[in-house]
């Protein structure tokens, strides 16, 4: 299947700093990528839909000025957590849709563990 | 997107067959049913997808009755490494920009 990578796999930062997370589709092009957040023992929560060459679409309750998304190419989307605070500590997962055997399938990255001190 | 309902958790012994059922009463005509597996601190992994009847691959089978209002993921002869959370998702993914919305999933614990 298609491969999605994320970098970094984990990051620790001080409160008030900004953190950038990269999501790449390695062997396919993705005009659309998705960003999720997952807290311990909970399910994945969709944060936003990232569209190549246009603005991201954010889910209700997700601050677009805090979670900046840039989808500058067909293989790269970035999520920047600005002025991070301890409550932003979470597991961030990106995914991308690929056409496989004539059907769309969604592939997920390995996730990025963010810890804000 | 159709809402799904799954058991919160299940336990099984090694070597047994495990069946996880998902209810999706409001499934639409164009919706597909997809199951994902997630291990701790990893992204979800695609297991199987189907539209109707039965689908089988190297890791699982998916049974979908004629009314498509439910589906059952069958894992044959589970091992300890199958301990994970399993998510059932339903949606029309004929287009490339409809996101998957996750429910709570089923936490499967396999014990020796």
Give A56-72 pLDDT, tens digit per residue.
Answer: 999 999 999 999 999 98
Q: How far apart are CA B48 and CA B60, in angstroms?
A: 7
Chain A, chain B: beta-carbon pairs less than 8 Å apart: 62
Q: Which pLDDT tens digits describe chain B residue by residue (112 residues)?
A: 568 999 999 999 999 999 999 999 999 998 899 999 999 999 999 999 999 999 999 999 999 999 999 999 999 999 999 999 999 999 887 665 677 889 899 999 999 9
Residues in chain A, overall count: 117
- Closest chain A C-alpha to B75 CA, distance in angstroms: 20
Beta carbons of A106 and B46 less than 8 angstroms apart: yes
A34 vs B45, B99, B103: nearest CB: B99
What is the arrangement of strands in the sheet containing A19-25, beginning at the earlier edge strand?
A: A4-7, A19-25, A76-81, A67-73
What does the alpha-carbon distance between residue B101 and residue B103 come to, in Å, rounded to a whole number? 7
Identity of the residue in A43, A46, A97 whose CB atom sits nearest the CB atom of B104: A43
Report the alpha-carbon distance of residue A13 to residue B87 in Å, rounded.
Answer: 31
Nearest-by-Cβ selection for A110 from B34, B43, B103:
B43
CB contact under 8 Å between B102 and A1, yes or no, is no
Residue of A4, A38, A10, A24 lying closest to A76 (CA atoms): A24
Taking an 8 Å cut-off on Cβ atoms, the answer to whether A34 and B94 are in contact is no
Q: Residue B23: enclosing H or E segment and its boundaries?
A: strand B18-23
Minimum CA–CA partner of A102 in chain B: B94
Position A116 scores a pLDDT of 97
């Amino acid at each position: 299947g298609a491969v999605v990578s994320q970098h970094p796999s984990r990051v620790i930062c001080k409160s008030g700093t900004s953190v950038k997370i990269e999501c790449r589709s390695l062997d396919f092009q993705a005009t659309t990528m998705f960003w999720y957040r997952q807290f311990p023992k909970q399910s994945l929560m969709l944060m936003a839909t990232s569209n190549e060459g246009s603005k991201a679409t954010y889910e209700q309750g997700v601050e677009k000025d805090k979670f900046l998304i840039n989808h500058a190419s067909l293989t790269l989307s970035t999520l920047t957590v600005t002025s991070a605070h301890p409550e932003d500590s979470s597991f961030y997962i990106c995914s991308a849709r690929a056409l496989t055997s004539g059907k769309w399938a969604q592939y997920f990255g390995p996730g990025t563990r963010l810890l804000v001190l | 997107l159709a809402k799904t309902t799954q058991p919160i958790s299940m336990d099984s012994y090694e070597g047994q067959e495990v069946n996880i059922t998902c209810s999706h009463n409001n499934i639409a005509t164009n919706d597909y049913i997809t199951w994902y597996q997630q291990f701790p601190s990893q992204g979800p992994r695609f297991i199987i997808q189907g539209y109707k009847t039965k689908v089988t691959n190297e890791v699982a089978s998916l049974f979908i009755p004629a009314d498509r209002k439910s589906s059952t993921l069958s894992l044959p002869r589970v091992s300890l490494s199958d301990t994970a959370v399993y998510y059932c998702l339903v949606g029309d993914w004929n287009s490339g920009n409809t996101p998957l919305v996750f429910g709570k999933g089923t936490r499967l614990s396999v014990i020796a």
